[in-house]
Amino acid sequence: MIAEILATGDEIRSGALIDSNTAHIAQELEAIGVKVIRHSSVGDDVEILVSVLHEIGCRVDICVVTGGLGPTTDDLTTAAASKAAGVELLLDQIALAAIKNIFKKRNRPLSDSNIKQAIFPIGATRMDNPVGTAPGFMLKIDKCYFFFLPGVPAEMRPMLSDKVIPIINKFPGNRKVCFSNTISTFGLTESATGERIVGLAKEFPGIKLGLRAKFPEIHIKLYAYGDDPIGLEELLSKTSDWVLDKMGKSVLSVTGDSMASVIGDLLRRQKSSIAVAESCTGGLVAHWLTNSPGASDYFIFSGVTYSDKAKIDLLGVLSETIERFGAVHEETAKEMAKGVRRIAGATYGLSISGIAGPDGGTEAKPVGTVCIGLAAPNGVEGRRFNFSFEKRSMNKVIFAETALDLLRIKLLKAGQTEAIF
């Protein structure tokens, strides 16, 4: 069983709006053994839409279409579907009643344009929208079953999982099972990562490999397709073990978890806590760490000590240290880490001070220089790194991730374990 995904709308076609729906849909379809062979995007033009629907309808078994189900004049997907199928449009009273109820609950008047969202091609199967006012529908065009869904991700996703996937699962057809695994890594470039695992295809010919740069991490995606679920799981497990051996300590997780999530698990397992003092990263480390549910188990305190005065007055950094070495130096970072650990009473204190750019660099300390301090029960260490990214935003991200990686390695050593798997 093969499928395509079609995203509609001038904003998607022109690149003004990033299409996050297609990636999610592809992953969900592949997970149930439906092979996605093509992604397409089309603007708000009925005739072009009709033509594309016919092309897809003669090519694949399933197509998921997003966008164009709203109340405005540029929402043309329903009209195009009706024309492509050669049927008239009909007002669905059940859908209309549901839309009226939504507006009543929101204490808003129903406009005539919203009635358009209750009109479907004759023969279509309505799919209710539990979140918004745009119901979806299923319609067969040529040999293909089309699923038309709203373009808003928060509306599309539950409709895909709760409506579309259960219907597809009931379709007859020869579908191969798909198992996948994501191994997240940090510290190596995409090319260097590829070189580490260059022999994978020869060693495991039944595995499909994908490398994804999700800055600043590299994600290694492994896919196994076939008819034997048990055999595929065993093959995927062996392949994952082989990749872990090749990648070593650059591996963060074999389940695709983020750096912050991995660190949270390590801190929780070890019953340890963390406090953070940031300068150039502006609270980014604290933001990442507190994004994980249950962060209160281990996260105690953070402070953005941007100025020298704040470093001295709040963290207890010696003025002599800054006068002698400057704010961006290993010694300053060490005193920042010790200070925030002391203030919070945390197991670990982590600090960052650097030059994110685009200005402020010198010959001795160019833009991209960062100093990181890590205070632990058995002492304090300071490290300096130099990165070559010109964008301030990229430097801030790589600074924060590098600081967390130092903490991760420290925690791994403390726990005498190789990685969180």
Same domain, 163 and 181: no
Number of domains in the chain: 3
- Verify that 149 and 211 share a domain, yes or no: no
pLDDT at residue 110 in the model: 85
Instruction: Give me the CATH number covering residue 323.
Output: 3.90.950.20
User: How wide is the angle at C-alpha 133 spanned by C-alphas 128 and 135, nearest 5°?
Assistant: 30
Residues 93 and 58 reside in one and the same domain:
yes
What's the predicted TM-score (pTM) here? 0.73
Look at residue 421 and tell me if it is in a domain: no
Do 22 and 159 have their domain in common?
Answer: yes
Q: Rounded to the nearest 10 degrees, how much is the dihedral formed by the CA atoms of 164, 167, 170, 173? A: -60
Give the SS3 label for residue 10.
Answer: helix
Q: 211: how many CB neighbours lie within 10 A of its CB?
A: 14
| Last-in-domain residue among 145, 169, 193 | 169
Q: Which residues neighbour 262 within 8 Å (Cβ) at sequence distance 6 or greater?
A: 252, 253, 408, 420
Pull the structure tokens for residue 101: 């109820």
Report the pLDDT value the prediction gives residue 418, as an integer from 0 to 100: 41
Burial class from Cβ neighbours inside 10 Å (0-12, 13-18, 19+) for residue 275 reads buried
Could you tell me if 122 and 158 lie in one domain?
A: yes
The verdict on 9 and 151 lying in the same domain is: yes
Last residue of a domain, one of 169, 203, 232: 169
In this structure, is residue 193 part of a structural domain? Answer: yes
Q: Give the strands of the sheet with 299-304, arranged side by side.
A: 299-304, 274-278, 348-354, 369-376, 379-386
In a domain, residue 353? The reply is yes
Residues of the chain with pLDDT below 70 are 174-175, 416-421
Domain hosting 101: range is 2-169
Phi, psi dihedral angles at 216 (to 5 degrees) = -95, 15
Q: What is the per-residue pLDDT for 235? A: 95
Give domain status of residue 420, yes or no: no
Q: What is the pLDDT of residue 416?
A: 65
Residue 39 belongs to a domain: yes
Half-sphere exposure of residue 156, counting CA atoms within 13 Å on the CB side? 23
Close Cβ partners of 290 (under 8 Å, ≥ 6 residues apart):
299
Give pLDDT, residue 60: 97
Give the pLDDT confidence score for residue 157 in this predicted structure.
94
Q: Do 147 and 27 sit in the same domain of this protein? A: yes
> Which residues, in sequence order, are CB contacts of 90 under 8 Å at separation 6+?
119, 120, 121, 122
Of 169, 204, 222, which residue sits at a domain end?
A: 169
Assigned domain for 406 exists: yes
CATH code at position 125: 3.40.980.10
- The reported pLDDT for the residue numbered 419 is 44
Q: Give pLDDT, residue 420.
A: 43
Structure confidence at residue 295 (pLDDT): 97
Do 18 and 155 have their domain in common?
Answer: yes
Q: Could you tell me if 385 and 356 are in contact, meaning their C-beta atoms sit under 8 angstroms apart?
A: no
In this structure, what CATH number is given to the domain that contains residue 188? 3.30.70.2860
Query: Alpha carbon of 321 to those of 202, 305, 335: distances in Å?
Result: 55, 16, 9
* 299 shares a domain with 231: no
16 found inside a domain: yes
205 token code pair: 């010919």
Is there a single domain that holds both residue 23 and residue 153? yes
pLDDT at 148: 98
With a CB cutoff of 8 Å and minimum separation 6, the contacts of 117 are: 69, 70, 71, 95, 99, 133, 134, 135
Question: Are 149 and 13 found together in one domain?
Answer: yes
- Tell me if 351 sits within 8 A of 278, measured CB to CB: yes
Q: Do 211 and 324 fall within a single domain?
A: no
Residue 19 lies in a domain: yes
If one counts every other C-beta atom within 10 angstroms of the C-beta of residue 248, the result is 13
